Amino acid sequence: MKSRPRLLSAALVVALLTGLLQLGFGAPAYAAPPGIPTASAARTQLAALTVAASTHTTTYDRELFPHWSTVSGSCNTRETVLKRDGTSVVTDSACASTSGRWYSPYDGATWTAASDVDIDHMVPLKNAWISGAWAWTTSKRQSFANDLTNPQLIAVTDNVNQSKGDKSPDSWKPSVSSYHCTYARMWVRVKYVWSLTVTSVEKSALSTMLGTC
């Protein structure tokens, strides 16, 4: 007699699904930020970036980058990105998100409360400062901090964003390794569009990440 196949335990199924999500398989659909280049274009743009050491490392102040500007009516940049990156997002009369679902590609988590989600600056404001933004006008820094045209803003898990802080890819990467390709493409695009410099170790890390594409 043929033996019947054993059913997988619920715990094993959960473990397998979690593993697949961490590898990037079966990840929920979500709205990607605009302007993400192809891997080939990102490699070309990375090669064109100026390699230089960080400067003005002790003069950064977050207030030098006015952020969450009004986009339309009562909607600011944060609320605009929450609505863009989420699914079934409902907002109140003040444009605050009252319900919806947000998938964080950095760690594979899904949230239903906007309070659990941060809007990450792909290239952190301090990193921008030490790689060239120190010489910009306040108006240009404001445009950078609220850039909705390029892949500079993305909704992610709040404590993951806080863990990233102002770190560059040589010091911090998303825990979902399959997202490294997209992350590097986004980072390179922002630096390229805004003519920011990269350090040698940053460039090396980006090149390695693009190699996973």
Q: pLDDT for 57-100, tens place per residue?
A: 999 999 999 999 999 899 999 999 999 999 999 999 999 999 99
Average pLDDT over residues 24-51: 85
Residue 10 has pLDDT above 70, yes or no: no
What is the spatial distance between Cα 117 and Cα 166, in angstroms, rounded to a whole number? 17
Q: What kind and span of H or E run contains 89?
A: strand 87-91
184 and 178 in contact (C-beta within 8 Å)? no
pLDDT score, position 31: 72
pLDDT grade, residue 29 (50/70/90)? low
CA distance 208 to 56: 27
| 26-30, 110-114, 208-212, range with the lowest pLDDT | 26-30
Residue 18 has pLDDT above 90, yes or no: no
Residue-range domain boundaries for the chain: 23-210
By CB neighbour count within 10 A (0-12 exposed, 13-18 middle, 19+ buried), where does 165 fall?
A: exposed
Q: What percent of the chain has pLDDT over 70?
A: 86
